[in-house]
Amino acid sequence: MYQKENKRRGGASDTIMRNDDTMTGRDQGLTAEEYCCFRELIERQTGVLLMDDKRLTFHMKVSHRLALLGIGTYQEYYDAIMSDQEGRELGVLLSHLIDRDSCFFSDRKQFNLFSSVLKQITAVRRDTQPQSIKVLSAATGTGEEAYSINAVIHGNGLPSAGWDVTVTGMDFDESAIERAAEGRYSRDSFRDMNDRESFIGAYFDTDGQTCTVKELLRKHVGFRVGRLVDIWSFAGLGTQDVIFCRNVLSHMSGDGIQRAIRNMYRVLSDTGCLIIGTSESLIRLTNFFVPEYIDNMVLYRKNPGIGLEHDALPDRDSLRGMAG
């Protein structure tokens, strides 16, 4: 049977056995003990916290993956993940468990906020050399967010003015990163845009329903596989001016949030800022970042004077839904 993680979250197995009363014959192949092992592995490796009463949901979302791989039991699947040194299959598993609806300029107001931040940065650095801007899309999925960020940078005229621009998209899912680097999208990926036809015309080559990113938008954008809770995933990025980390922290445990916040704090410049989801908040959760309001929107400025010591962060339920 599985090797249990050394760090247990008190009484996890008992909690699962008590609360998971929705199990039926459809998921008799996934035991409570096995589900507990997957929960512990995912939380330790990625910071994502699965609820203890979602064993049926886990089975319904993952069982077809076992069939695709020709794996007969969850124990075999767990062993396969543990033996995967590159961590690719763990990323695939997580992509099945977290619903992410990626599209260009999702929540447009936050990109307007980013545009305001760019204006502040360019004003401060107008007389400095070299003029540069680095932005990290920390949960980029299939790349729509990273390319949207670069489009805002282009719209503010930075590349044409000679600025050195670097946009990095990072995600735990290697298959999503491969799709992002390919840069091919259906028209449904532009569904939230009122000006999608002009945007597509400016930045994409089209072939029927497929839109491929032009070099104009692809230039300055790179992608990498990485996890927010792993400091080595940030190696070589250099100091970032802005980090987008939207709708991710609310899926994470308190310990996962703490690790992610510390890592992002380390790579942000002292004047850098963090943009999280509109339904998420860091207020009262950490003193690593302090809120700043611009045009009725909130971003989080790095608090450079505190070092790396900060208060413990609560679990994800405290983060979700708190007004920024």
- Bridge pairing between strands 132-137 and 240-245: parallel
What local confidence, expressed as pLDDT, does residue 14 receive? 32
Give the single-character DSSP code of 18: H
Percentage of the chain modeled with pLDDT above 70: 86
> What is 12-97's CATH topology?
Chemotaxis Receptor Methyltransferase Cher; domain 1 (1.10.155)
What local confidence, expressed as pLDDT, does residue 209 receive? 85
Counts of helices then strands in the chain (DSSP H, E): 12, 10
What local confidence, expressed as pLDDT, does residue 320 receive? 52
pLDDT tens-place string over residues 245-264 = 999 999 999 999 989 999 99
CATH 1.10.155.10 range(s) for the chain read 12-97
What local confidence, expressed as pLDDT, does residue 7 receive? 37
What CATH class does 108-319 carry? alpha beta
Of 316, 272, 297, the closest CA to residue 289 belongs to 272
What local confidence, expressed as pLDDT, does residue 187 receive? 94
Residues with Cβ within 8 Å of 109's Cβ and at least 6 positions away in sequence, in order, are: 278, 297
**pLDDT tier, 318 (very low <50, low <70, confident <90, very high otherwise):** low
Q: What average pLDDT does the segment 39-68 reach?
A: 94
> Which helix (H) or strand (E) covers residue 136, if one does?
strand 132-137
pLDDT tens-place string over residues 54-81 = 999 999 999 999 999 999 999 999 999 9
Q: How many CB atoms lie within 10 A of CB 160?
A: 8
pLDDT tens-place string over residues 204-247 = 999 988 999 999 999 999 999 999 999 999 999 999 999 999 99
CATH 3.40.50.150 range(s) for the chain read 108-319
In angstroms, the Cα distances linking 216 to 154, 175, 204, 227 are: 9, 24, 9, 28
pLDDT tens-place string over residues 111-140 = 999 999 999 999 998 888 789 999 999 999
**Dihedrals φ, ψ of 280, to 5°?**
-110, 160
What local confidence, expressed as pLDDT, does residue 9 receive? 35
